């Protein structure tokens, strides 16, 4: 297996862009990543495009806008993990020696798919027939978790306060204003115990990364190349042989353990992290699954403030996370990846975590009856 | 139970392998699949036991229809327009006496009275002529 490096990343802003199709957003992000990499676009040998709702051939429709035609372009779908699944595909095609230079792209225009509210789910799903939506699913996790570990509504709200603070320092974030605990709690209840401000927004964006093999990195790199130390994708298992959907922690734990092992590092080595906080409860549960604390202690990290930037611990979601930067589903994983690359290069501006040398990205996609998730992807990046 | 003439919400996907389950609910009985090899119930209904046995040798057994709320969420917003007028309603994971968890609704109760551990029993909601959904109410 060869080492793989990220030469460049690029994103659009996150927000509501009903007048820009996914292919227009995608064109902007792909072009930005290619320029950031400082390579001629024709050097790209293969492209992957993550998306969920953007229809047939969206990768090809996007890349023809910037002259990237002819090369294999593969559209990748893994629910909310589609962006990082696209990154994983690009990584492995280089790592295993098939190609030397690849583009990983993620696109989504949700404004053109739904006006607001939760993501549409598969209607013949036995759980969906009972009125379950994604907020409701996370709310059920929250209810059980809060009871088992004595977690308060204020602690759930504090996740959002941190997220909005980081996003206020991120020019591409969808929400860029600070928010108080009261404002989080006083927003309308969506699925008790989750209020609207504890749920990620509907939004549109694209993000991309250009990857290359270790053989070419010295020749091609114009900026600090970021090394992919570990990259693992794993699908969900049965939550339990008997049960239905509730807790994705096993999937995240299993995937991150494999990614840490590949990197030869552990959770204690991480300086920054971008994690899948689709709903505020997810952040604490992912702290545990990624090994930042013991089971049941996620709320302690929220309480002691150590996951804020430059607060003594791993800075979690310095870009604002899904809750505040936004969650344009197919683009999310590469937005997370771009943030970690900027952090490791020292290009993160006002939200720069000091001495950021190693970062981890976790994306968790979807829910299925009796499974703990659809796809989890975890990457570990370093300088 | 439902007075609606047209039912607009999503309906479960019927397949031959889930027929005993949905025929059961239609007859207001809860019939659950069980692995003959391990003797363990599983849910949702499907053609094979998802345990380590991975067995297609399953049997259908009448269940008690009783259980406890394992977790729940009060939905103040439905997943689609079809649920307009329903909120607030409760979606819950019910841990049945047979050891399986089933997602369902807890009905005939003030949503604020639902709690983890609440004892519940099945009631049947004939949502169309063909389809009956099992729901739960507080145990008598």
Handedness of CA A335, A339, A345, A351 (dihedral sign): positive
pLDDT at B8 over 90: no
The yes/no answer to whether this complex scores an ipTM above 0.90 is: no
For A244, the 3-state DSSP assignment is: coil
Residue B88, preceding peptide bond in cis (omega within 30° of 0): yes
**Predicted local confidence at residue B14, as pLDDT:** 80
* Cβ burial, residue A1 (10 Å; 0-12/13-18/19+): exposed
**B91/A130 CB distance under 8 A:** yes
Given CB atoms, is A127 within the 8 Å cutoff of chain B? yes
**Predicted local confidence at residue A230, as pLDDT:** 98
More confident of the two residues A346 and B79: A346
Mean pLDDT along residues A311-335: 97
Lowest mean pLDDT of A56-65, A205-214, A222-231, B1-10, name the range: B1-10
pLDDT at A298 over 90: yes
Q: Of all residues in chain B, what percent carry a pLDDT higher than 90?
A: 63
**Predicted local confidence at residue A158, as pLDDT:** 98
If phi over 0 gives left and psi between -120 and 50 gives alpha, with beta otherwise, what is residue B63?
beta
- Using an 8 Å CB-CB cutoff, list chain A residues near B91: 130-132, 136, 140
pLDDT in tens, B34-43: 999 999 998 8
Q: Could you list the active site residues of A?
A: 80
- Using an 8 Å CB-CB cutoff, list chain A residues near B11: 123-124, 129
pLDDT at A130 over 80: no
pLDDT at A239 over 60: yes
Domain extents in chain B: 15-63, 64-140
Given CB atoms, is B132 within the 8 Å cutoff of chain A? no
pLDDT in tens, A333-363: 999 999 999 999 999 999 999 999 999 999 9
pLDDT in tens, A135-190: 888 898 899 999 999 999 999 999 999 999 999 999 999 999 999 999 999 999 99
Given CB atoms, is B87 within the 8 Å cutoff of chain A? no
Residue B70 CB contacts under 8 Å (≥ 6 apart), including other chains: A144, B92, B93, B94, B95, B101, B116
In order of A194, A252, A360, A369, the CA distances from A233 in angstroms are 29, 10, 14, 20
How far is the C-alpha of A139 from the C-alpha of A7, rounded, in Å?
39
* Range B64-140: architecture per CATH: Beta Barrel (2.40)
Q: Of all residues in chain A, what percent carry a pLDDT higher than 90?
A: 85
**A243/B43 CB distance under 8 A:** yes
Query: Considering only alpha carbons, which residue of chain B is nearest residue A119?
Result: B79
Q: What is the mean pLDDT of chain A?
A: 93
**Predicted local confidence at residue A83, as pLDDT:** 98
Backbone φ and ψ for A286, nearest 5 degrees, come out as: -75, -35
How far is the C-alpha of B68 from the C-alpha of B121, rounded, in Å?
8
Given CB atoms, is A142 within the 8 Å cutoff of chain B? yes
More confident of the two residues A274 and A141: A274
Given CB atoms, is B59 within the 8 Å cutoff of chain A? no
| Residue A161, CB-side half-sphere exposure with 13 Å CA sphere | 15
Band the pLDDT of A129: cuts 50, 70, 90: low
State pTM to two decimals: 0.92
- Using an 8 Å CB-CB cutoff, list chain B residues near A135: 73, 75, 77
pLDDT in tens, B109-140: 999 999 999 999 999 999 999 999 999 999 98
- Using an 8 Å CB-CB cutoff, list chain A residues near B9: 129, 131
Mutate to test the interface with A, among B9, B63, B79 (most CBs of A within 10 A): B79
**A132/B103 CB distance under 8 A:** yes
Beta strand B66-75 pairing with A189-192 = antiparallel
If phi over 0 gives left and psi between -120 and 50 gives alpha, with beta otherwise, what is residue A9?
beta
Mean pLDDT along residues A277-298: 95
Which of A230, A239, A245 lies closest to A362 in space, CA to CA? A230
Band the pLDDT of A113: cuts 50, 70, 90: confident
């Amino acid at each position: 297996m060869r080492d793989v490096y990220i030469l460049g990343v690029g994103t659009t802003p996150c927000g509501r862009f009903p007048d820009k199709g996914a292919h227009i957003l995608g064109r902007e992000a792909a072009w930005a990543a290619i320029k950031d990499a400082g390579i001629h676009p024709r050097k790209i040998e293969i492209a992957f495009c993550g998306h969920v709702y953007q229809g047939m051939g969206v990768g090809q429709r996007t890349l023809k806008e910037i002259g990237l035609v002819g090369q294999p372009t593969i559209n990748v779908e893994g629910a909310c993990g589609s962006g990082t699944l696209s990154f994983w595909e690009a990584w492995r095609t280089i790592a295993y020696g098939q190609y030397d230079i690849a583009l990983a792209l993620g696109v989504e225009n949700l404004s053109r798919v739904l006006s607001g509210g939760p993501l549409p789910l598969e209607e013949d799903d036995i759980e969906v027939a009972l009125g379950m939506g994604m907020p409701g699913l996370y709310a059920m996790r929250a209810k059980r978790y809060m009871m088992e570990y004595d977690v308060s509504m204020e602690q759930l709200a504090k996740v959002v306060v941190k997220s909005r603070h980081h996003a206020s320092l991120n020019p591409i974030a969808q929400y860029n204003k600070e928010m108080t605990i009261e404002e989080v709690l006083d927003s309308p209840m969506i699925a008790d115990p989750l209020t609207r401000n504890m749920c990620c927004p509907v939004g549109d964006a694209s993000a991309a990364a250009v990857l290359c093999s270790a053989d070419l990195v010295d020749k091609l790199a114009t900026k600090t190349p970021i090394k992919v130390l570990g990259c693992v994708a794993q699908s969900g298992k049965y939550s339990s042989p008997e049960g239905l959907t509730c807790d994705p922690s096993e999937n995240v734990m299993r995937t991150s353990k494999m990614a840490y092992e590949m990197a030869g590092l552990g959770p204690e080595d991480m300086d920054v992290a971008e994690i899948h906080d689709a709903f505020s409860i997810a952040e604490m549960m992912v702290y545990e699954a990624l090994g930042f604390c013991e089971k049941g202690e996620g709320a302690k990290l929220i309480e002691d403030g150590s996951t804020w930037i430059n607060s003594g611990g791993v800075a979690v979601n310095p870009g604002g996370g899904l809750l505040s930067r936004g969650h344009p589903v197919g683009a999310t994983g590469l937005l997370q990846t771009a943030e970690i690359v900027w952090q490791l290069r020292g290009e993160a501006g006002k939200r720069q975590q000091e001495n950021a040398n190693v970062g981890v990205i976790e994306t968790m996609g979807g829910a299925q009856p009796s499974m703990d998730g659809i796809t989890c992807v975890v990457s570990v990046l370093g300088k | 139970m439902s007075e609606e003439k047209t039912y607009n919400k999503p309906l479960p996907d019927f397949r031959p392998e889930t027929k005993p389950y949905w025929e059961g609910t239609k007859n207001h009985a809860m019939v659950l699949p069980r692995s003959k090899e391990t003797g363990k119930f599983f849910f949702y209904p499907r053609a094979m036991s998802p345990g380590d046995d991975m067995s297609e040798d399953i049997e259908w057994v009448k269940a008690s229809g009783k259980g406890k709320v394992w977790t729940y969420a009060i939905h103040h917003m439905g997943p689609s327009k079809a649920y307009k007028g329903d909120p607030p309603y409760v979606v819950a994971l019910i841990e049945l006496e047979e050891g399986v968890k089933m997602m369902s609704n807890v009905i005939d109760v003030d949503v604020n009275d639902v709690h983890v551990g609440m004892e519940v029993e099945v009631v049947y909601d004939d949502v169309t002529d063909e389809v009956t959904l099992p729901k739960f109410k507080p145990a008598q």
